[in-house]
Structure 1
Amino acid sequence: MLHFLLIGAAIYLLNGLFADPAPEADDKTIVVSAGEIEWMRTAWGKRWNRPPTAAELDGLIQQYIRETVLYREALTMGLNQHDQVIRRRLAQKLEFLARDLVALTPPTGEELQAYFAEHEARYQLPTRYTFTQVYLDPDKRGEATLADAEKIKAQLIALGENIGDAGALGDTLMLQTYYPDKEPLEIQKIFGSGFTEALVELSPGQWHGPVLSGYGVHLVYVSKITQPPPPVFAELRERVAQDWTMEKSEELNEQFYANLRDRYTVVIESPAANGNGGMVQEPSR
């Protein structure tokens, strides 16, 4: 693909743009270019919605000179060596630069359609559940909790569809008794994963239980299960395009790294239990 052919060119372009020769040891000249001053003006204007005054601009220039002096002296002292923060920041900066240089060709309609078909489940809205729960407190009921649950469930079944006051048969809990039209993730946030996994398997129109949660024991009546319609590509095209772009960008980023990685021989030292370290050379990729 054209995307991957451009990766090699991006590597050489990055080298040409940023791989400046190291300054000579006796080079103590700091040049504040007109372009850098203009960048300072622009950055200031974006932040404060006005151009800097002469004094403010001089302050920006003096700060730039200060940073440059300290930066060069830090490099001379080797303070950039073995610093995880600096390593990580430079690695991120190179990835960002590469991402900007290796631009993606906009996807065709056919590519988006194929991507949507392959990842259709990602765009499917979740099933929603309407249910009633009656809580039984194990701390209050002790060993009789499960037996009480069976007795109360029989009473609830006898009520038929008149379950509006079902909660009165159980114990007090600082939660609702009736939950209309809830997604599994919403239910999980309230009752926990175990309760939710059990609830989504329950058949509607009858009482079930005991169903356990972190709170204790519940009797559950699922009154309605709402299945959403299948996702429609035309309604989701913009989101699909964003997802496609993000995924392809990650692929290019990984390929960019792989191409750079192939230029290195990597030796991983492995410390042995007796203190005599060994070395393992990774094969070329």
Structure 2
Amino acid sequence: MNKPLRWLRHPVLHFVLIGVALYGASLLWSPSVPEQPPAQREPVVISAARIETMQADFTQRWGTRPTPEQLSALIAQAVDEELLYREARLLALDFEDSSVRRRLVEKMRAVSDRPGRSPDELVREAHALGLDDDIVIRRLLMEKMRLVLAQDPMAPPLTETDLRDYLHRHRDRFEQPAELTFSHIFLSKSAHGADLEGDAQTMLTQLRARSTPLSVALEWSDPFLLGQQIRAYSQNRLTARFGKSFAEQVFTLQPGNWSPPIASPYGLHLVWVEEKTAPRLPDLATVWRQVAEGAQKARADAQLAQGMTALRKRYEIRIDGRTDPSARATALTSPLRP
């Protein structure tokens, strides 16, 4: 390696540059820093030709032209990607990036007719030829810029209160479903044949008339593969084992009485519900990791959105020769569907 350039690879220098990048990004959302006028940066222009290409690509992928709302989202996404790429360049996020370097070396080796040159030489020539303006490199830099914007070095650590608040605000994601524990007397089709329904009604009458203890009643059951007690089953789990109709009927029962005969694919069942629990949130300790990850991602997403809003204010945005406020909408991060 060229000795004068060896210092460029020093870890201390990389650490400093990362700090500079984070500091530069932090200026985007710092209320104490005056806004930089858009005129100091080149406008972001989305031409009519590019919009037509977006529409054609969308049509080819989904088989229909985008709606006005979908087209606005496509334009907003294109604007955001251009902003991310430009800021990544300004913050030199490509400096000594191993993925960017590898991409440039690969491109140069594909087009060069001079074998034996070092990777450093290939990278320098690639920059000189403008080969660093590449779709793969653009994507790498945009993702790095998103990561920079999503970080807030001044944010305090998440507290238990923060996690409990997140758990309750997203209870639909963590809530444990209602569960049922029940015992049942099983009457099989093969054992009872044509008398199946009559035998089930006769047995039910005897159970209710004699107030037969549960332990005794279960001795009347035909053998059943899953046993006579079904413990802590959700409705979905019960559906998977016994079928939808059986699960729906059993979940309408209340504890403390024998049910009428309920059909399943196996035969008939007389059901005694022992316990029924309502939907509930788990203890935070049991889902701590998932909640912490979700809360941290929500914080990062909010920080990224704030950073993108600040970025859009720093550029003049032109859509087909005119400023289009709809282009300042937050771009979609998931695939667009018709």
TM-score by length of 1: 0.51
The superposition leaves residues 162-201 of structure 1 with CA deviations (integer Å, 9 ceiling, x where unpaired) of 1214344343322201234444455444334433332222
Q: CA deviation at 1:127?
A: 3.7
Q: What amino acid does structure 1 have at the position aligned with 2:246?
A: F
Q: Percent identity?
A: 22
Matching residue within 86, 95, 101 for 1:12: 86
State how far apart, in whole Å, the 2-side matches of 1:131 and 1:226 are.
12
In structure 1, list runs of 5 or more residues that go unmatched: 34-86, 266-282
Alignment partner of 1:222 out of 237, 257, 273: 273
Whole-angstrom distance in 1 between the partners of 2:110 and 2:231: 73
Size of the aligned set, in residue pairs, is 213
1:130 maps to what in 2? 181
- What are the superposed Cα offsets for residues 249-280 of structure 1, whole Å, 9 maximum, x if unpaired? 67889999xx9xxx9x9xxxxxxxxxxxxxxx
1: distance between equivalents of 2:186 and 2:230? 13
**Closer, same or farther: CA 230–117 of 1 in aligned 2, 3 Å:** closer
Alignment RMSD: 5.1
Q: What is the TM-score with the length of structure 2 in the denominator?
A: 0.45
Distance 1:91 1:193 in 2: 51
Q: Distance in 2 between matches of 1:225 and 1:246?
A: 35
Map 1:134-145 to 2 at 5 A.
134-145=185-196
Q: Where do 1:1-285 residues align within 5 Å?
A: 10-12=84-86, 17=94, 18=100, 23=108, 26-29=111-114, 31-32=118-119, 100-105=147-152, 109=159, 112=163, 114-160=165-211, 162-227=213-278, 231=282, 238-246=289-297
Displacement after TM superposition at 1:118 (Å) = 1.9
Q: Structure 1 pair 159/177, CA: closer, same or farther in 2 (3 Å)?
A: farther
Report the residue type matching 1:27 in the other structure. Answer: S
For the 8 Å contact 1:134–1:177, the answer to whether it is kept is yes
Task: Check conservation: 1:124, 1:230, Cα contact below 8 A.
Answer: yes
Report if the CA contact (8 A) 1:120-1:231 is conserved.
no
CA distance in 2, matches of 1:172, 1:225: 25
Q: How far 1:151 moved relative to its partner?
A: 1.5
SS of 2:207 mapped into structure 1: helix
Structure 1 residue 241: Cα displacement: 2.3
CA positional deviation for 1:134: 1.5
- SS in structure 2 at match of 1:23: helix
Letter in 2 for 1:146: E
Assess, with a 3 A threshold, how the Cα gap between structure 1 residues 171 and 90 changes in structure 2: closer, same or farther. Answer: farther
- SS of aligned partner of 1:218: strand
In 1, the alpha carbon distance for the partners of 2:248 and 2:110 equals 67
1:150 positional shift:
1.4
Aligned 8 A contact 1:95 1:253 in 2: no
Q: Distance in 2 between matches of 1:119 and 1:26?
A: 53
Secondary structure in structure 2 of the residue aligned to 1:209: coil
**How much does 1:219 deviate?**
1.3
Equivalent pair of 2:239/2:246 in contact (CA under 8 Å): yes
Name which structure has the greater RCO, CA cutoff 8 Å, separation 6+.
2
1:99–1:249 contact (8 Å) kept in structure 2: no
Task: Confirm or deny: 8 A CA contact 1:10 1:102 kept in the other structure.
Answer: no
The question of whether the paired residues in 1 share the 8 Å contact of 2:177 and 2:280 is answered with: no
Matching residue's letter, 1:11: Y
SS in 1 for 2:214: coil
